[in-house]
Each structure stands twice: as structure tokens, then as C-alpha cells.
């Protein structure tokens, strides 16, 4: 069974690929600002894809500011 982190990475990669964007490396200190490469619609697509796979509303339950990839991974645990 895939971990939520594996699903997170796979779905992020799928969003980048579907939107013909360059996927950055997923390092803990990678910023999630505009330099990450996703706009608000891309993030919405990711949230839906992730929720379909895990049942988790990764952004709906978040009360923290997501600054880095590490912050996003914490939500997926």
C-alpha cells in the first residue's frame, strides 16, 4: 500500500505533467510560492486528486501556512 507521502508526490507530479509544466525537485526546503510552478487552479486540481486517493482534504483541514514542501508533507502524515 502506498503511503500518503508517496501519493502526494505522485499526484503533484501528475498535475505538473497534465499541465505541461516542469516539476521541481521535492526537497524539504523547496518553497511552495510561485517559483514552485503551480497556480491556484493547479493546486485545486492537486487537492481533488489527493482527496480522491486518500479521502483527506489536505487543505481544508490545514490551519498552517504552507511555505515549503516539508510543510505540505506534514499535512499528509
Render pLDDT for 18-74 as a digit per residue (tens, 0 to 9): 999 999 999 999 999 999 999 999 999 999 999 999 998 888 766 677 899 999 998
How high is the pLDDT of residue 30?
95
CATH of domain 4-76: 1.10.1200
Q: Please tell me the pTM assigned to this model.
A: 0.89
Helix 69-76 × helix 4-18 angle, to 10°: 130
pLDDT-based confidence at residue 5 (cuts at 50, 70, 90): very high
CB 41 within 8 A of CB 55: no
Domain map of the chain by residue range? 4-76
Amino acid at each position: 500500500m502506498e503511503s500518503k507521502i508517496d501519493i502526494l508526490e505522485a499526484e503533484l507530479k501528475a498535475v505538473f505533467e497534465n499541465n505541461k509544466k516542469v516539476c521541481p525537485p521535492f526537497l524539504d526546503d523547496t518553497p511552495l510560492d510561485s517559483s514552485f510552478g503551480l497556480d491556484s487552479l493547479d493546486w485545486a486540481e492537486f487537492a481533488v486528486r489527493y482527496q480522491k486517493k486518500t479521502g483527506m482534504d489536505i487543505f481544508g483541514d490545514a490551519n498552517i501556512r504552507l511555505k515549503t514542501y516539508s510543510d505540505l508533507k506534514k499535512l499528509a502524515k
